[in-house]
A and B are shown apart, each in its own frame.
Chain A
Amino acid sequence: MRLLSSSSPSFTYLTKMSFLFGSGAGAGASQNINPQAIEMAVNELDLITDVFNRLVSSCHAKCISDKYAEPDLNKGEGVCIDRCVGKFFEVNKKVGEKMQAAGGGGGAPGLM
């Protein structure tokens, strides 16, 4: 269940949004477009999108059975998703620490 992909129309909209958030300036953005800043923002958004998609598909596969009795989430599934998300980020953090210890986390900045 992919929510966003790099080629979707919503992507360009969000890139502009994040650039606006990043620079802090409201209106006059067109004069000061820094291609490097845009590229960094694009990369970061790609990264976050990828993590989000993985998280959603992983926790959906683990917590929600494939027999859909009703469309709403129930409390048991809610607890499962809470725990799944918590564990996912714990694992992310630990793996990030180990990679940094093993020498430079590569090009990707650590998350959270």
Chain B
Amino acid sequence: MADPTPHPAPPKPPAAAAPTLPANPTVPPSLRILQYTGIPASVLTWRPRLPSRNWLIFFTLTGTLTGAWYYDRRECRRLQEAYKDRVRWMAEQKLGGPEDRPRRLRVYAAVWPESDEGGAKWFKKYVKPILHAAAHDYHIEIGHTHGALTRLLAQRIQSRRRQALGLEPLPPPSPIDPSVEDARDLAGGVALMGRHTLKEYLAGLAEGWSGALQASARDTDLPKRIDASLPAFPDDADTLPAVFVPSSEPALPALSPPTLAPLSGPPTFIPAHPPVLVIPYVQPLGFKQIPRMIGGFFNHRARVREGGDAALRLIFGTARPIEPPRENAEEDFPPLDEPLPAPEARAPQGGWADSELDAEDLIKSSFELVPSNIHQRRKDYYAALVPRLKTARELALGEREPSKEEVEKPPKTERELREEAVEREKRWRDELEGWGVARKGAGVRWKRWMDGLREYGEYPEELRVE
């Protein structure tokens, strides 16, 4: 059925007109009287315009990034000044005479796994300015290789134990009374940059106090032990790599026992230890951490807050006992000399021993390959040693005349090559032991007496910086 009221056909669209220029803008009425003053028409008809789409994109991006960067750095300055203002009154107090020594903190910074640097620069940038404003002195110990802090602390403690028993000459008398220095250390406190430093520090304490008292320092004893445990250079130099580095694991040969028997077991009484603070510090390394690094570039104020909070805790925090880890936390670890078991899914140790545990997520997985790396380097070293040994033997036996280069720069004799090999082995052993302490999931080398350690608690609420 036809529609009774047919709708009119929709109007046809008009034919597309040829594109025309926009109409000339006209001068607004308020400015018309200026038309005859000689001011150009383009000035009178000016209207604000947005830039083109591409320029808009550019300005938005650049402006946002610059603004974020500038805002962050301004906040950093403001926050750090606020933290310093909380403590400036301490530096303005009167000095009580030459005996009034400033409080001195001990700061330890170990090297991050697979890196060359640790938390020392972070400390100097974010914590030190506040300590300086509060007239607090500090002494920083930096470990340049893995395990360096552990070895340093263990040697110092063992040296102290030997001196207490009269088995080692005391250091030359200094004008400062050592008991005063000890009291100053106790009041001063210890700051540790990050979990990796905590592990090295406690491993050093464990080795120093709980280990058997050795008759001589590790640095003098270890080369002799290594020399005894390495086979002699074989007569046929070509078999040297096979003799020294059998292709199976472990990375390093077993060590012969110490040249002198240990002097005594662990002491019954360990002197009091200053309170400790673990300062959060991480070093993201690797390709997958690049987004985090870029975000961190715009967020230095978070680090200023962390550093400032750590400084306030060191200055004002009251010492409180730590939360000890679980009961069997100390059984997890064999002595550093013995080969390391692979850490199966270890349960976390609990308590203060788990401080900053999530920092270990940032340790690269390639850190587990350190022992096979050392094994490979040993193979390469001994393979390169073969021609040098041959040259040394030929020159020593007089089988040939030295060449011109060998006269100017005499190559090492066989004994010097042996010493060099022993020194390298010591370095590899140090690295392997440091790796054993720093591994992800290796936990902290806990000893039961460490339950008595103290840490810095919170500072008063009214000092908090917003």
Contact = CB atoms under 8 A, between A and B. Distances in A.
A83 interface: yes
A74 B95 contact: yes
A77 B137 contact: no
A74 B100 CA distance: 11
Nearest to B135: A75
A73 B93 CA distance: 8
Contacts of B401: none
Given A82-B101, A82-B102, A74 B91 contact: yes
Given A74-B93, A79-B135, A82-B102, 12 more contacts: A70-B94, A73-B94, A74-B94, A74-B135, A75-B92, A75-B93, A75-B95, A75-B102, A77-B95, A78-B102, A82-B101, A83-B137
Interface string A60-83: 000000000010111111110011
A76 B135 contact: yes
Interface of B: 90-95, 100-102, 132-133, 135-137
Contacts of A83: 137
A82 B95 contact: no
Given A79-B102, A82-B101, A82-B102, A74 B92 contact: yes
B100 A78 contact: yes
A74 B91 CA distance: 6
What is the interface residue range for chain A against chain B? 10 to 19
B380 to A, nearest CB: 37
Nearest to B101: A82
Contacts of A72: 94-95
A64 B138 CA distance: 21
A16 B95 CA distance: 34
Contact of B90 (A73, A75, A82): A75
B94 A79 contact: no
Contacts of B95: 72-75, 77-78
Nearest to B138: A79
* Listed residue (A72, A74, A82, A83) with the most chain B CB atoms within 10 angstroms of its CB: A74
* Listed residue (B132, B133, B135, B136) with the most chain A CB atoms within 10 angstroms of its CB: B135
A75 B137 contact: no
Contacts, number: 39
B85 to A, nearest CB: 14
A70 B136 CA distance: 21
Contacts of B135: 74-76, 78-79
B interface, over-half SS = loop
Contacts of B102: 75, 78-79, 82
Contacts of B90: 75
A82 B137 contact: yes
A76 B94 contact: no
A79 B102 CA distance: 6
Contacts of A74: 91-95, 135
23 contacts: A70-B94, A72-B94, A73-B94, A74-B91, A74-B94, A75-B90, A75-B91, A75-B92, A75-B93, A75-B94, A75-B95, A75-B100, A75-B102, A75-B135, A76-B133, A76-B135, A77-B95, A78-B100, A79-B102, A79-B132, A79-B136, A79-B137, A82-B102
A75 B88 CA distance: 10
Nearest to A76: B91
A62 to B, nearest CB: 14
A78 B102 CA distance: 8
Nearest to B137: A79
A77 B135 CA distance: 8
Nearest to B88: A76
Contacts of B101: 82
Contacts of B92: 74-76
Nearest to B136: A79
A103 B100 CA distance: 41
Nearest to B98: A78
A8 B133 CA distance: 41
Interface in A76-100: 76-79, 82-83
8 A-B pairs with the lowest CB-CB distances in the bound complex, closest first: A76-B91, A75-B135, A73-B95, A78-B95, A76-B135, A72-B94, A79-B102, A79-B135
A76 B135 CA distance: 5
* Listed residue (A70, A73, A78) with the most chain B CB atoms within 10 angstroms of its CB: A78
Contacts of A82: 101-102, 137
Nearest to A80: B135
Interface in A16-52: none
Nearest to A74: B92
Contacts of A70: 94
A58 to B, nearest CB: 18
B28 to A, nearest CB: 61
Nearest to A77: B95
A79 B137 CA distance: 7
Contacts of A79: 91, 102, 132, 135-137
A88 to B, nearest CB: 16
B462 to A, nearest CB: 22
A52 to B, nearest CB: 15
B355 to A, nearest CB: 29
